Amino acid sequence: MITITDLSHGILRIPALSIEPGITTVFGPNGAGKTTLLSVTAGVILPEAGLILIDGSPPRSCEIGWVSEFPDRNILFERVFDEIAAPLRFRRLPMEMIEDRTMKIAERLSISRLLNRKMRTLSGGEKVLVALATALVTSPLLLVIDEADSHLDEETAWEMQDALRSNQPPYVLQSSQYQNIADVSDDHIRIHEGFVISRGMNQDG
């Protein structure tokens, strides 16, 4: 379980919140604090005050995967293989293990055929799947998807959801603009001006 206690950061004020394993969608209008909530939960930024624990450990000591708002503009390497393998390389794992794990994740997301392509030549949807593979290659405890689908067409957004479900980490925290994608998630958190205003499944879902 992810537990958030007495959190205060920017406009975000969350006295107590717990998130069960599964896919949780965060909702809210522009400027409500969605990205801030995702960032502090992932340990990308340290909160001004408050405590966040993922299965009892602070976020920075956990393995976290992140898919950013613009998967096609946040690319480090030119070749698909190098991009997916980057997190493993940064951890200085031996080359054989890097190759093995990169191949495996590519296979599970059905993008093996892309490994030798250049990032620049991929379609938008393929780039998103590569970004997802890169986030999943370290087998994270928590995967965060920050508005990644707000610049995607619906087919591509669903492709990403399908790929995610075939390879789901224990916790997934995503912000989405598509109501029907949010409807199929396990849980939702609606925030407004920094406060959690509703919790739990949608009535109609």
Residues that bind another protein (CB under 8 A): 29-31, 42, 44, 64, 66, 68, 72-74, 76-79, 82, 86-95, 98, 118, 121, 123-125, 134, 138, 150-156, 178-179
- Closest CA relative to residue 175, chosen from 143, 198, 204, 203: 143
Query: Which CB, 4 or 181, lies closer to another protein?
Result: 181
- Least distance to another protein, CB of residue 195, Å: 17
Q: Which is nearer to another protein, 14 or 182 (CB)?
A: 182
Identity of the residue, 94 or 200, whose beta carbon is nearer to another protein in the bound complex: 94
Asked if 137 contacts 101 with a C-beta cutoff of 8 angstroms, the reply is yes
Tell me the closest approach of the beta carbon of residue 154 to another protein, in angstroms.
5
Distances (CA, A) of 155 to 15, 78, 194: 37, 25, 31
**Residue 202: CB minimum distance to another protein, A:** 15
Q: Sheet holding 2-9: strands in order across?
A: 12-19, 2-9, 49-54
